[in-house]
Amino acid sequence: MAAAHGGYTDVCAMPNLKPVPDSAEHLRQELDIIERDAVINVHPYGSLTVNEAGEQLSDLEGMAKDVIAFSDDGRGVQSGEMMREAMTKAKSLGRIVAAHCEINELLKGGYIHDGEYAKAHGHRGICSESEWGQIKRDIELAKETGCSYHVCHVSTKESVELIRRAKKDGVDITCETGPHYLVFSDRDLIEDGRFKMNPPLRSEDDKAALIEGILDGTIDMIATDHAPHSAEEKSKGLEKSLMGVVGLETAFPVLYTKLVKTGVLTLEQLVELMSEKPGKRFGIDTQIKEGAWANLSVWNLNKEYTIDPDSFLTMGRATPFAGISVFGECIMTMLKGEIKWKQ
Amino acid sequence: MPVGIFQIRKGVIGMKYVLKNAFVFQNSKIEKKDLLISDGKIVSIGIGVSVSQDSAVEVIDMNNYFVFPVSLMFMYILENRVFHIRRRSEPDLWRRLTADTQMYARCRT
């Protein structure tokens, strides 16, 4: 319901669950929950490796017909050999590999960006290379295997440049970033768990590169990496809170207010980034056209309000956008002609 | 198309709506149009969609609101069984985070 409140009728569920959907049997448990509880379309991912541990390939073949793509989201696949094996198999099955890129040995206990704020406040930082280093490796593997490769939540300027070059080289690669990386940088950090996510908020230069990447088409789409942690889990400041923030119910208003109303993007470009382009990449028809299912959302773009997490329908409340004034309220969300959410 | 069996399978049979006076995103353009929706599908899109002979049609004036194709969220952490505990209706249960919940949550660190 939270997704419908945010104007979404289709979500792709990442595999960081218990049990991890790494086999047809484990995936079945997730599917049962989806079939029982979902009020919108939920498309599950299968994990790349067993238990997302990066050591043994999951049963990709057994899950392929029931998943939208494969990913070890939340964990980077550390072994290049394992990633090569996964990409080769995914390619043979005609599925996308979506990667959370992170080199563990470069993390060194970090939990926010290794930038000015971390240095000034005595926090341990996460360096940019921990992300772009693995993207660089994976681009070579995607080139070698011919696998369709998608980079999740890009946050650094180096990542953008690597992906830009890979696209020019003809690699089958797409990527996304999140609203928080386009709006905030580590200059905006405060000692509050609602500003903690992985990858972390980066520098102003990184933010500028992400916007440039959006404008020149290097970045194909925008996703929130919605992670509904409890208040308790997010109440322990930057160091101790769990990683992740919610975003389903704020994504469109935030992006409309911060990027469209300020003239960075047109409204049409924003809709393409949130609907058409991801739909095309992941094989879901999102177009409004005669004969199509009536899957749509209705928005009052003149409505101005302050983001109040207590109004969210999602179980999580932690968002860096709390208290921000935005334009754009979802009036109605319709799935196959049925009104799923109405103001 | 990898998706299929997990989609909500049926449209709303027998329901007809006209969404009038909406700014509709179609083919990368936003234009003022009406949408006729019947049995869950978009039947007609255009200016002044005619429904005068059909009393079963519910006309909803969109009052210049914007109609967008659905957004697709392809990075979504499922609010799985442990998060189905109702925070408001079952606050005590919510506070007593189970070991399962914490293990799930640690996956995000």
Average pLDDT rounded to a whole number, residues A107-119: 96
What's the rounded Cα separation, in Å, for the pair A94 and A81?
20
Average pLDDT rounded to a whole number, residues A201-220: 98
Enumerate the residues of chain A whose CB falls inside 8 A of the CB of residue B70.
7-10, 275, 286, 295-297, 333, 335
CA-based nearest residue in chain B for residue A248: B73
CB nearest A16 (choices: B37, B44, B77): B77
Going along chain A from its start, the domains and CATH numbers come out as 2-342 (3.20.20.140)
Of residues A259 and B5, more confidence is placed in A259
* A172, pLDDT greater than 80: yes
Cβ distance of B79 and A74 shorter than 8 Å: no
Q: What is the pLDDT of residues A26-53, one digit of tens each?
A: 999 889 888 887 888 889 999 999 999 9
Residue A252 CA, chain-centre distance (Å), reads 14
**Tens digit of pLDDT per residue, chain B (109 long)?**
233 233 444 445 667 889 999 999 998 999 999 999 998 999 999 988 876 666 678 888 888 899 999 777 666 665 543 344 444 444 554 444 333 343 333 333 3
Cβ distance of B3 and A284 shorter than 8 Å: yes
Which two structure tokens, joined as six digits, stand for B1? 């198309």
| Gap from A334 CA to chain B (nearest CA, Å) | 9
Enumerate the residues of chain B whose CB falls inside 8 A of the CB of residue A223.
73-75
Active site residue A169: no
Q: What is the pLDDT of residues A273-306, one digit of tens each?
A: 999 999 999 999 889 999 999 999 999 999 999 9
In this prediction the ipTM stands at: 0.88
Cβ distance of A297 and B35 shorter than 8 Å: no
CB nearest A68 (choices: B2, B19, B28): B2
- Whole-structure pTM value: 0.89
